Amino acid sequence: MDRPELLELLYSVKNGETAPERAIEKLKLAPFEDLGFAKVDHHRALRQGVPEVIFGQNKTTSQMMGIVDAMLRGGARDVLITRLSADAAKSLEGAYPFEYSAVARLGVVNPDRGKQKRGSVVVVSGGTSDMPVAEEAALTAETLGSDVTRVYDAGVAGLHRLLSHLEELTRARAVVAVAGMEGALASVVGGLVECPVIAVPTSVGYGASFGGVSALLCMLNSCASGVSVVNIDNGFGAGYLAHKINTTEGIQ
């Protein structure tokens, strides 16, 4: 239950439209539900504006379904499951309204297809090989309610590809820059836009890239102001943060 839903429930009780006993039934799972193997945070959306997100890696299908069932009982929509295997996705697809991206390894249970998208987030990738991480970021921000533009395969080896999208970049309220190799894309983007840039190093590259550490260090040492960095391959974290920046009131 998020803030608008809680306010609607409270006003409904105030106006005599909902019995207090019924309101208690809706709230009785708060603040969390202990399933034994997981403690489902039913107040996450109330505190943060976004429901709990399930990290699918190393969880069994039954564990994920148990968490999903608990969240749905609490009224959750757009239940995100990250790092979700294709086999587990097939099981979930048969049990719930469900959407899955094999590229991003990301699933959405009970998707709100009518949700209005807000603001502008641009997700830029250095190369096609960075697309799994870039799509994780883009789909996360989209599912949470941000309007997302994708600019893929626009790395520093051919800057004209990036500059051809300068109009979209300068309109953005947040940009996610996803790159492996030497990770220079984030600095270039940071020098072009006035909005915050969230850099995502990927584990794409030859041996000396050290599984993304080279890109991580390059992004951490960016000379462009306004660039922040998330962990290697953490598209979800970047998309989540970009959405929060994009939808924060007062940001122009």
CATH number for position 222: 3.40.50.1970
> Is residue 2 in some structural domain?
no
In terms of Cα–Cα distance, which of 129, 138, 54 is closest to 96? 54
In a domain, 11, yes or no: no
Note whether 158 and 180 are same-domain residues.
yes
Q: What is the pLDDT of residue 21?
A: 80
User: Which pLDDT value is given to residue 71?
Assistant: 87
pTM attached to this predicted model: 0.85
Other C-beta atoms closer than 10 Å to the C-beta of 237 total 18
- E strands within 182-237? 197-201, 227-229
Can you give the pLDDT at residue 251?
54
Among 43, 74, 109, which residue terminates a domain?
109
pLDDT score recorded for residue 10:
86
State whether 125 and 213 are in the same domain.
Answer: yes
Indicate if 85 and 138 belong to the same structural domain.
Answer: no
pLDDT at 236: 97
Q: Which residue has the tokens 């102001």?
A: 225
Same domain, 125 and 105: no
Asked if residue 198 is part of any domain, the answer here is: yes
Q: Is residue 8 part of a domain?
A: no
- Together in a domain, 241 and 145: yes
Same domain, residue pair 38 and 145: no
Q: Which of 39, 74, 109 is the last residue of a domain?
A: 109
Domain boundary residue, one of 88, 109, 130:
109
What is the domain extent for residue 184?
A: 118-247
In this structure, is residue 5 part of a structural domain? no
Q: Are residues 132 and 92 in the same domain?
A: no
Residue 38: per-residue pLDDT = 87
Q: In sequence order, which residues have a C-beta less than 8 Å from that of residue 1 and are 6 or more positions away?
A: 9, 26, 27, 30, 42, 43, 45, 46, 74, 75
Instruction: Look at the chain and report how many structural domains it folds into.
Output: 2
Same domain, 240 and 122: yes
Give the integer Cα–Cα distance in Å for 104 and 165: 23
Q: Could you read off the pLDDT of 216-246 as tens digits, one per residue?
A: 999 999 999 999 999 999 999 999 999 999 9
Distance CA 178, CA 140 (A): 14
Q: Which of 13-17, 26-30, 79-83, 245-249 has the lowest mean pLDDT?
A: 26-30
Q: Are residues 105 and 122 in the same domain?
A: no
Q: Are residue 190 and residue 81 in the same domain, yes or no?
A: no
Q: What pLDDT digit, counting tens, does each position of 98-149 carry?
A: 999 999 999 999 998 888 899 999 999 999 999 999 999 999 999 999 999 9
- 42-51, 109-118, 150-159, 181-190 — which is least confidently predicted? 42-51
Residues 134 and 40 in one domain: no
